[in-house]
A and B are shown apart, each in its own frame.
Chain A
Amino acid sequence: MSVLDSKVPEGPIKDKWTTYKDKINLVNPANKRHIDIIVVGTGLAGGSAAATLAELGYNVKAFAYQDSPRRAHSIAAQGGINAAKNYMGDGDSTYRLFYDTVKGGDYRSREANVHRLAEVSGNIIDQCVAQGVPFARDYGGLLDNRSFGGVLVSRTFYAKGQTGQQLLLGCYSAMNRQIARGKIDMYNRHEMLDVVKVDGKARGIIARDLITGEIERHSAHAVVIATGGYGNVYFLSTNAMGSNATAAWKIHKKGAFFANPCFTQIHPTCIPRSGDYQSKLTLMSESLRNDGRIWVPAKLEDAKAIQEGRLKPTELAEEDRDYYLERRYPAFGNLVPRDVASRAAKERCDAGYGVNATGEAVYLDFAAAFVRYGSEQAKIKGLKNASKEEIIKLGQEIIEQKYGNLFQMYEKIIAENPYETPMMIYPATHYTMGGVWVDYNLMTTVDGLYCIGEANFSDHGANRLGASALMQGLADGYFVLPYTIGDYLADDIRTGPISTETKEFDEVEKEVKDKIDFFINNNGTKSVDHFHKRLGKVMWDKVGMSRNEKDLKEAMVEIKAIREEFWKEVKVPGDANEMNPELEKAGRVADFLELGELFAKDALIRNESCGGHFREESVELDGEQKGEAKRNDKDFAFVSAWEYKGEPADAVLHKEELEFKDIELKQRSYK
């Protein structure tokens, strides 16, 4: 028997969560005052958890590396948040949301967790509205909805293009109320550098005050990690610059298994990289694909001319363009899911058809939409003899109403007017579906150590549908963890305060300090970013969207070599006892250099194409799906959970077999 116990309750899926809640142990309100909980990370998951745990009466210590919880990267989510409210009367239900999420995740998520997510989704909206989140309303004053990729109902709630920001400000305000009451001690500009275990249980953390450099000990009865994803392992991603894997990686090294590290979402509509200095990729909303047509030149010589600036896209005749998504996937066309669109773009660019100087971009063209909308407007306005220019202008006005802010953002970054020339887009690393393994209680393989939000693995499978990340973060923080953690803490009501003056704290603090001293005193020759960029290049070239055995094996060797060189050659100027952003980066990159290798190792054993991950050895060989990604349920319907054993290459694999009792596993087809 595997050491992994998912603790999924027995019984029919629709009753699991209710009966579970009815039966778990509770902590009496008077006893909650004697229990401390540490929450690391204060984005949607951590912020909502901290606020709710404090509301329930626990003493919460919350940690954020920024100056305020309001800056967590949850803030950058644009599109919206899903909830099965069926306000639109289009047949939405808990079951449909559950079904869409499991299918969208390519059948690699845990059924029971996803069903619970769907169950609490409606309550999230109620909660946020009560906090004053200004969701979009219709003219009758009721909440408005829109539709997102991969689903057939309208269940996405939104606040302009800033839904993530508004939801985060909602839970930030709930936190502020608890900070004012003294129920949350907020540690801004603090970074967790390790976890402390006492008698096998998580009992505290070692943190660094990023302003003074002081190393601090903090104890608690339980520790919650909510530090987001590890997409920055690619160096270039849509993640914030400071987003890092340190907390998740450090708990992995202390016994928490790391699940499905190779599951990463590559988002198809990002603004392409323009040069080697680039620090960051910017996401454009997926909604653009509703009206834009994606193409590259059909002939290599035209692509070359465009790359060299000798030819403009608008000069290329219709028959010389290759609308490759419409060609390959006539049924879904430009609206295929994110994984399919991303892979197809990379395939064309790798074949030499890319359209910018780096050869890593495809066109997203609105010219046809201008004409389509313009002709409609001309009819509505009764303009019978409108010229082509007039029609285009009318169409542009409609597109501006729909996507004006995105067009403006594009123009600011690229300095080209997307109304006059097609936009350029390219896939980029966006969201990580892998993460720390947790059971149904959201507890890791270490007692008393919890992991929520993007930092855990359970809900999104191999691919994430739009508008489901915000839902998971808030579900975990507001409605799931506050229940499940009580079941564990019920045993701690007589424990009393946990001392930080113990040998366990001494030891971990020493490890942390030694590492910092090493960085400050190492007389290397190369900057932290130098190594991070090299790691990112290996990850993108060999462990990116398209993978094969040979490349993955090479990647593991190369990453190890970069890591060894890093520990010899890294240079960190400045002092340990002061604010030192280079030192912060050094610790984070050191962790990415280990995580990257485990990532490649996980990709190597998963010899199937799944979600956004195209395994070149796993392709449909004939029939209608010829050439498309081939998932292998017989051999790979499991969660890979890695146990740390020193070097990432030595990690031991544990498998949690995934059971699909309520949903039939099917091939996804978009032809």
Chain B
Amino acid sequence: MNLTLKIWRQKGPQDKGKMVDYKVSDISEHMSFLEMMDVLNEQLVNSGEEPVAFDHDCREGICGMCSLHINGEAHGPDRGITTCQLHMRMFKDGDTITIEPWRAKAFPVIKDLIVDRMAFERIQQAGGYISVNTSGNTQDANALPISKHNADEAMDAAACIGCGACVASCKNSSAMLFVGAKVSQFALLPQGQVEAADRVKNMVAQMDLEGFGNCTNTGACEVECPKGISLENIARMNRELVKASLIKF
């Protein structure tokens, strides 16, 4: 199929960006969206132009590196997938496709379609861990039974890949689904309970500091999340936060 691509080009963080039109032809419906981008880039390199920079790596839907706002949707049409799993059969011959980077104040553009997601790193560093010594003197793993229900729910929350689609889809650019998922994983497990109050307070404080907006329960994040992380995690984070605020040290 033949397609027209409208792509955000921006040389660097300080430069002004703009939409540029490109044509690609002979795109097979079996290609992934990123392979279609490879075709465009090969074409640009061969004509001496700079290829379009975009983030990608595992191309198996798990690393969370790929981003792309496609026709106004995070990771494009289709549900429960990342951009690397989006296939060109979702488009038609002659289509015009608009491709933009994640849009959020806390995710500044580095180049073209690549944004800086370091804000997520700093939130994790503010408390997204259990303070256990890593030198191997831990108790036997079966010494602490965990109900299957809680373990499964913790796993569902832990499935977040940190891609940022939730932020990009939210009208407030809120990171509460991302933060809620991590807080929930640990809230559901007995390990790390002693620091649970500090964890949620510190992570939420860092999230606010990074310039993410608040949650107004629109639910776009859940719809666009490639891993189906549930809004329930935001509710759990809020409960944890209230609980933490009632604890005096």
A residues bordering B, Cβ < 8 Å?
48, 51-52, 55-56, 66-68, 70-73, 75-76, 85, 87, 120, 123, 125-132, 134-143, 159-160, 162, 165-166, 169, 171-174, 176-177, 179-180, 186, 188, 211, 238, 240-242, 274-275, 277-280, 282-283, 409, 412-413, 415, 478-479, 482, 527-529, 571, 573-574, 578-579, 581-582
30 contacts between A and B (CB under 8 A): A66-B65, A67-B65, A72-B63, A132-B185, A134-B185, A135-B141, A135-B151, A137-B146, A138-B148, A141-B147, A166-B155, A166-B158, A173-B124, A173-B129, A177-B125, A177-B129, A177-B131, A186-B121, A274-B30, A275-B28, A277-B38, A278-B35, A412-B87, A529-B42, A571-B45, A573-B44, A573-B50, A574-B50, A579-B111, A582-B45
B residues bordering A, Cβ < 8 Å?
11-12, 28-32, 34-35, 38-39, 42, 44-46, 48-51, 53, 55-65, 81, 85, 87, 89, 110-111, 114, 116-118, 120-121, 124-126, 128-136, 138-142, 144-148, 151-152, 154-155, 158-159, 161-162, 185-186, 189, 191-192
Identity of the chain B residue whose Cβ is nearest the Cβ of A571 in the assembled complex = B45
Identity of the chain A residue whose Cβ is nearest the Cβ of B126 in the assembled complex = A180
Query: If A573-B51, A582-B51 touch, does A51 touch B134 (CB 8 Å cutoff)?
Result: yes
Q: How far is the CB of B31 from chain A (nearest CB, A)?
A: 6
Contact of B141 among A51, A143, A415, A574 (CB under 8 A): A143
Contact of B38 among A52, A76, A279 (CB under 8 A): A279
Contact B134 A279 (CB under 8 A): no
Q: State A241–B186 Cα separation when bound (angstroms).
A: 32
| Chain A hits for B45, CB < 8 A | 527-528, 571, 573, 582
- Beyond the given pairs A142-B145, A579-B12, 11 more chain A to chain B contacts, judged by CB atoms under 8 angstroms and listed by A's residue number, are A55-B134, A68-B120, A120-B136, A129-B141, A130-B139, A132-B186, A134-B154, A136-B155, A139-B148, A174-B134, A277-B38
Q: How far is the CB of B58 from chain A (nearest CB, A)?
A: 4
Identity of the chain A residue whose Cβ is nearest the Cβ of B186 in the assembled complex = A132
Identity of the chain B residue whose Cβ is nearest the Cβ of A65 in the assembled complex = B57
Q: How far is the CB of B225 from chain A (nearest CB, A)?
A: 15
Contact B57 A73 (CB under 8 A): yes
| Chain A hits for B159, CB < 8 A | 160, 162, 165
Contact B138 A67 (CB under 8 A): no
Contact B60 A282 (CB under 8 A): yes
Q: How far is the CB of A337 from chain B (nearest CB, A)?
A: 23
Q: How far is the CB of A62 from chain B (nearest CB, A)?
A: 12
| Chain B hits for A160, CB < 8 A | 155, 159
Identity of the chain B residue whose Cβ is nearest the Cβ of A579 in the assembled complex = B111
Contact B57 A71 (CB under 8 A): yes
Contact of A179 among B64, B125, B185 (CB under 8 A): B125
Contact A137 B148 (CB under 8 A): yes
| Chain A hits for B131, CB < 8 A | 177
Q: How far is the CB of B111 from chain A (nearest CB, A)?
A: 5
Contact A132 B87 (CB under 8 A): no
Contact B51 A132 (CB under 8 A): no
Q: State A573–B142 Cα separation when bound (angstroms).
A: 56
Query: If A129-B138, A278-B35 touch, does A211 touch B62 (CB 8 Å cutoff)?
Result: no
Query: If A52-B135, A160-B155 touch, does A126 touch B39 (CB 8 Å cutoff)?
Result: no
Contact A478 B134 (CB under 8 A): yes
Most B Cβ at <10 Å: residue of A51, A188, A282:
A282
Q: How far is the CB of B77 from chain A (nearest CB, A)?
A: 13
| Chain B hits for A482, CB < 8 A | 135
Q: State A25–B12 Cα separation when bound (angstroms).
A: 50
Contact A71 B64 (CB under 8 A): yes
Query: If A67-B65, A141-B148, A415-B89 touch, does A127 touch B134 (CB 8 Å cutoff)?
Result: yes
Most A Cβ at <10 Å: residue of B51, B155, B189:
B155
Most B Cβ at <10 Å: residue of A172, A211, A279:
A279
Q: How far is the CB of A46 from chain B (nearest CB, A)?
A: 14
Contact A68 B59 (CB under 8 A): no
Contact B11 A134 (CB under 8 A): no
Q: State A159–B61 Cα separation when bound (angstroms).
A: 17
Q: State A85–B141 Cα separation when bound (angstroms).
A: 10
Q: State A242–B66 Cα separation when bound (angstroms).
A: 12
Q: State A529–B145 Cα separation when bound (angstroms).
A: 51
Identity of the chain B residue whose Cβ is nearest the Cβ of A526 in the assembled complex = B46
Contact B151 A132 (CB under 8 A): no
